[in-house]
Structure 1
Amino acid sequence: METNKIAYLILIFISFQCCQQNKISDEKVVGDILPQLIDSLRIYESNVPPPPPNSIINTSVSANDSIIAKRIIKEYEQIIERVNSEDSRLLIGISDNSFFIDFEDLSSRNYSDSLLINQITQNYTTRKISNTTWNLNHIQIPPDYELILKSNLEEKYSDIWNIRDRRFGGIIAISKVYYNSNSKFGLMQLDNYPFYGDGASYFIIIERIQKEWKVKKILLNWQS
């Protein structure tokens, strides 16, 4: 009886470790892929301070006006330099949990990579999966970026769609990562919302090359 209990506890422990490894695996993929997507999709700061007025670059202004214009430009440059010196990292909000790709909707699309997509999705027709609550400590990204959970944004700002932080680049939502049978290729979805009512969604086909995940293809899902 005691032996059965020990074996049962070992089985529970192994199952728990497997779940943890799968969870970290998705976050490892996101850490590899996200900087590539930020660059490819041109996710950047959305709250850049307004430039100096156009009137100050008018070549017909007087000498006094020219002096004033140079002073305004200098002050503007100092503001930008001061902001960057405090923290120049791109700030991106991320939904707390992953979501599931709508396979039925996806199957109705016609992409050049539909064969590979079908191979991946068919691998999950009978498999029960759960979504992931992202642990940002497990998503390793370059120091140029700062990720913050959407729930933390809501605690910090009264209106997350009216954030005045110059570094803010919008909010993203990332799906579960789906893999083919040998985990050589994967499929994920990323929804990007730089502003309220303005966004785009993409299907991302990824490939594992020497233990690192690379973006193979970006397919537009929808755009508003």
Structure 2
Amino acid sequence: MEKFPEENKPGYAVYSRRSLAIYDTLVLGLSNRFIWRCPSRHLIRHHEENLAACHLDIGVGTGFFLDKARFPERSPQITLLDPNRDCLEIATERISRYKPKSVHADALVPFPRTLGHFDSIGLNYLLHCLPGSMTRKSVIFDHLKPHLSEDGMVFGSTILQGVNPCPPVARKLMSIYNSKGVFANANDTLETLRAELSARFAEVSIQMIGCVALFAARSAKP
């Protein structure tokens, strides 16, 4: 059995088959619309704008967005990477029509050399669950760069602090999640996200919808 760093576990260990059974309704439905103020249709659109036919998804959740979004080809090659086996199994089952490959790995340690190369890499609702500062957690971009094709796109979304409109209930829920270790975004801001992406990629775009940053980056710097 793989051994992953203990300090990385709080952000993903909370997800079991029981909690994942209500994740789509509770998080992607109610929380996205009424708390984070970013209805999931925006995240589906973001996927469709950036997905390539050879795609790596990191932090796969329930596979909701890969299931709902349209790929540029009918038979994409999809690899799922996650340290949580329940997430991997549920997402694999959900998009079984694509015959995805699953990789049990921690995103904050270097990826397996055999992982391959991809034209798009997705990090949806992942960064705010990773421990540490934005600088520390952005090592994930260094780990994925060797697996990104020359013109490949990295995209994703994350919940940030200090943005408007961000209602009091959102700030309160973020505080609770941070206290439990489910989130680690107490110091994640639009400025720190942009800085870390711009240090690694020549082309960076970020759109704020409610409390959520939808980002995309390409043209990796040496």
Q: What is the TM-score when the length of structure 2 is the normalising length?
A: 0.29
Structure with bigger gyration radius:
1
